[in-house]
């Protein structure tokens, strides 16, 4: 079983995330942030993204969160696209007999909507996001739920992601991990079992 992170692993979404962040900052008369800054803010869920985006600016947080969600819902597929080789690669992995899943800290409804719009939702046995399990990565709960739904053991599963939260969740779940270097995050103190420079390398590792 191969369990994929979404943002920074399967999809390049930082442009649309930046648009939503800057629409929110505009509401509070704050200057826009660059894509590179927003890139560093992604990976721990929408609440943490909004917190970082406002940088301690005094506000009603729940109001700001609702505003951000509204902006993102209207712009989440403006420029977001699959990374190169993802569509063909996922199909090759399915043909090789792997069960595929997605686990993201992005709200679940957004995960389903984006993967459907990008034409790959049907390739996954399950798609889990914020709201589907009590806790988010780096907690192992989402991985354990995905394995439960697929009937897979930890020894049969791999977590593929671009952030130390993916690697930490995998370690806590007893699952091996692959870190993709092209994404949004860093390994931090985690030590993945494998590193890949692009998605084609991920596919070649599992289905040579």
Compute the distance between CA of residue 136 and CA of residue 197 in angstroms, rounded to an integer.
Answer: 26
What's the pLDDT at 59? Answer: 85
Instruction: Using the predicted structure, report yes or no on whether residue 84 has a pLDDT greater than 90.
Output: yes
Peptide bond just before 138 cis, omega within 30 deg: yes
* Cα 118–Cα 124–Cα 126 angle in degrees, nearest 5: 115
Q: What is the pLDDT of residues 97-119, one digit of tens each?
A: 999 999 999 999 999 999 999 99
* Catalytic center residues: 5
- Categorize the per-residue pLDDT at 177 as very low, low, confident or very high, splitting at 50, 70 and 90: very high
Domains, the chain, ranges and CATH?
2-12+80-206 (3.40.50.1000), 14-75 (1.10.150.240)
pLDDT band at 57 (very low <50, low <70, confident <90, very high): confident
Q: What's the rounded Cα separation, in Å, for the pair 50 and 48?
A: 5
Say what the pTM is: 0.94
């Amino acid at each position: 079983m191969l369990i994929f992170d979404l943002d920074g692993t399967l999809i390049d979404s930082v442009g649309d995330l930046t648009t939503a962040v800057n629409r929110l900052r505009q509401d509070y008369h704050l200057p826009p942030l660059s894509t590179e800054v927003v890139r560093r803010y992604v990976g721990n869920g929408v609440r943490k993204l909004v917190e970082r985006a406002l940088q301690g600016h005094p506000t009603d947080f729940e109001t700001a969160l609702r505003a951000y969600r509204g902006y993102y819902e209207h712009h989440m597929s403006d420029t977001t696209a699959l990374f190169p080789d993802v569509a063909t690669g996922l199909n090759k992995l399915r043909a090789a007999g792997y069960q595929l899943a997605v686990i993201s800290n992005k709200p679940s409804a957004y995960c389903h909507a984006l993967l459907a719009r990008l034409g790959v939702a049907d390739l996954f046995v399950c798609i889990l996001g914020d709201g589907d399990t009590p806790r988010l990565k780096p907690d192992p709960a989402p991985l354990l739920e995905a394995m439960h739904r697929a009937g897979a053991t930890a020894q049969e599963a791999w977590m593929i992601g671009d952030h130390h939260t993916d690697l930490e969740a995998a370690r806590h779940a007893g699952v091996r991990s692959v870190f993709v270097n092209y994404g949004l995050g860093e390994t931090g103190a985690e030590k993945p079992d494998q590193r890949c420079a692009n998605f084609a390398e991920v596919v070649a590792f599992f289905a040579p």
